[in-house]
Structure 1
Amino acid sequence: MSGYVRHLAERAREAAMRIARLDGAARQRLIERMADVLSQRRAEVLAANAEDMERGRASGLNDAVLDRLKLDDARIDAIAQGLREVAVQADPLAGIVRREVRPNGVIVERQRIPLGLIAMIYEARPNVTADAAALCLKAGNAVLLRGGSEARASNAAIAACLHAALRAEGLPEAAVSLVSDPAREHVLELLQLSDLIDLAIPRGGESLIRFVAEHARVPVIKHYKGVCHLYVDRAADLALALDLLVDGKASRPGVCNALETLLVHRDVAADFLPSALARLAARGVEVRGCERTRAILPQVREADEGDYAAEYLDLVIAVRVVDDLDAALSHIARFGSDHTEVIATRDEAAAEAFVRGTRSSAVMVNASSRFNDGGQLGLGAEIGISTTRLHAYGPMGAESLTVERFVVRGEGQVRHEESRDA
C-alpha cells in the first residue's frame, strides 16, 4: 500500500472533529456557500465535464453511463438547488430525540451524533461529489470521496468549488477530501482503514458493489442494483398505468429507479399490452416477453430468466403476464433487488396487500418508480439508496448519516449501594 489514501483519511478524520463541533447555523451557512460557489463557477465545471464526456465517448462508454456523466446548466442548477434544500433542513443533530426519567431519578436522554468519517465510492456520477459532501457536512461528518476515473475532471472541478467554500468559512479543505488518483489499489487501501473510516458507501454498478463488499474491513451500506417492477393489477386504471410505465422506463433509463420489468394481470393483459408496446416503441424501448405476452404481442422477443434478473439501465424492459397479485409478489420475491416496486390499482385492498407483500426500500401505489429519490422524497439530496437493512434503508439523507447515543444525567445515583462509603 502506498499510504496515499491513509494520509488523506488522517487529515479528513482531523477535519471531522472540527465539523462535528459546528452548530447547525454554521453548517447551514457552509452548505449554502457551497451552492453559491458551484453556481458562480459553473463554467469551470462544465469545461471539465466536457473533457470527461469527450474522453468517455472516445473510450466507448455506453449511452447510459454517458447520461449519468453528463452535466449541463440545468443539472448544475439542480445540484445547487439540492444543496440549498439540504442546507435549510432541520438540523439532524439538534436537541434530544427522546427523554425519560427512571424510577431512581436518573434522566436518560437519546441524541444524534455524527458517524465521523464517511467514505463514498462511486462511478460516473459527478453530482454525487456535491450531494455526498453536503449531506455528510449537514450531519457533522467529514467525507472521503473516490469517484470513477471517467468523471475525474468533473469531480475535481466540483471539489474545488466545495474547497473554496470551506476556506471562505475558515474550515479545513480536508473535510471534503477527494482521492484524485484513479488507481484501483487506492480503493483497496481505503477499504482497509478500519481505524479511520466509520462507514463506506459504494454507489455504482453491481461489480463495484460486490468489490467493495468483498474487500471491506470497514462497515458498508450497499446501494445495490435496481431491478424495479411495475405490477398492473386487474383493477388498474390502464391509462394511469401507461403513464407510470413510460415515465418509469423511458424518462431516464440509466438510473437505478427506472423500471426493468412489467408484470400484468392476465385479466387486463389483452387490453393493456398492445397500448403499452405502442407507447414504449415510440420511445425506442425494446420489449422482451414471456410466452403469454408473446401470444398477445408475437412481434416481441422472447424473454428468458436472465432478462427478469437484469438491471438493463437501458431502453429495454422484460414483461410477464401473471395470474394474480400473489403471482406478481412471488416473481418480485424471486427476481427483485429490494429497491423499488410499483402497483397500479384502484383496489385499496390489493394496494395494501402489495405494500405488505413486498420488502423493498420503497413501494409506490399509483406513482412512478422515479420518485424513489432523496430529492423527490424531501431529503434535498441523497447519498445513496440503501438496499441493506441496517440503520438506514431506502434514500439516505443527512439523518441517516448520524447515529443515536445515550446521555445519562444523575445526581450521584449508583447502581450498587455497597459502592458508597460506609
Structure 2
Amino acid sequence: MTTTEILSHLVAFPVLGGESNLSIIRWIADYLRDQGVEYTLVPDETGEKACLHCRIGPATDGGIILSGHTDVVPTVGQPWDTDPFELTPRGDKLYARGSCDMKGFLASCLAAVPRLRVAELRRPVYFAFSFDEEVGCRAGDLLAGAIRDHYTERPAGAIIGEPTMMQPMVGQKGIMVYTTVVRGSQGHSSRIRDEVDAVHEAAHLILWLEDKMHRLIEAGRTDDRFSPNHTSIHVGKIAGGSAFNIIANECRFEWDYRNIPLDDAAKIFADFEAFCCQREELRRTVYPEFSITHLPFHPPVPPLDTAEDAPIVDLVKRISGNSRTGTVAYAAEAGQFSNAGFPSVICGPGDIAQAHRANEFVAREQLDRCDAMIAALAEELSATE
C-alpha cells in the first residue's frame, strides 16, 4: 500500500487522547505481521491502551527510532467541511483529523516497511508508536523505557515525526498542567474580614503566577530560539462561589507552564508551593481549615535541548535535505526519548498551524518528502561506517 492508502486507513480510527487505542494499534500490528515484522505491544495498567515497538534490521548498535502517536484531538464544535474521519483529497491536500498531527508520519513509516525489509541494513530502524500523547504525552516515558529495556543493542537516536514542515527541530518546551483547589470558609459577604473567601485567595495565587513569569523574564531567563522566548505561565479556567453575597468556600483554577530548557520545572512549582504555604499560614489564623491543594493533570513533560553538533542532528539534516534547524513551542515526546538516553530530533510532514483545527490537512508534497527522508535513512543505515 502507498502512504496515502495507509493514511486513509489510519484516519478512519477516531481514537481520541484518553481513549482506548487498541483498534488502531491492532490494525498496525496486523499490517506489520502481514509484512513479516515481529512487534511488541506495551500495554498500560488497564489493558485498554498499548504502545507498539518493533525493529527492522539487524540487532546492532546505531539504529534509529521513528516515533509517533496514534491518538488525535476531538472534532466536537469545529466547523468541518468534510467527514473528519475519512481522508478527503482536494488538489494537493489530504483532509482528515490526524492527517497532519501525526498519522501522516505513521503512514510514511508503515509504507516504507516493504523497502526496509529488503534493504541491506547494517543498522536497524525501529518504530515506536504511542497512545495519549494529545493529553499530556502520558505514554512517552513508558514507550521509551520499554525500547531501552527490551533490546540488547543500543539505538543511536530518535526522530519524532510531529509536523515541522520537514525541518529538523532540536528543542521543545516542557509542559506541566495543574488544577489548584482553594478551600475557605462560608458566610455572609458583609463578614469578609472575619472569613476566608476562596475566590479572593485564588486571585492572590493567580497574580503570583503571572508575576513569576515576568520575574523570570526580567532575570534574563530567555531563549531566543523559542517564540515566545521565555517560560509561559497561564491560567485558563477558573470556577468558584455560588452567589455575589456568599463568601466562597471553594475555588479552583486550571493552569499550565511551558518551560524553556533553561528553567527547571520542579523549581517553578516548588516556588509556587512555598507561596501557597505562606498564604495557608496567614489565613489559618482566621479559618484553621483553610487549604490549598494541587492536582496534576499528568506527569511533567520534559523539554528537549539537543546540541546542534549532535550526530542525530547531522543525520536528520542529511536525510531531510534541510540544514536549517529550529525549535517548537509545543510539547512532544522528544524530551522523554532524550531523557531515556536516545538523542532526539523532531521532524515530520505537515504544518503545525493545521493541527487541532477544523479542516486539518497534510500536503501530498509533505508526505513525499517524508517518504524520501525514510528512504534516505535506509541508505544511511545500509552504508558501511
Normalised by the shorter chain, which TM-score bucket?
A: under 0.3
Q: Which has the higher contact order (CA 8 A, sep 6+)?
A: 2
Normalization by structure 2: what TM-score?
Answer: 0.25
- The structure richer in helix per residue is 1
Normalization by structure 1: what TM-score?
Answer: 0.24
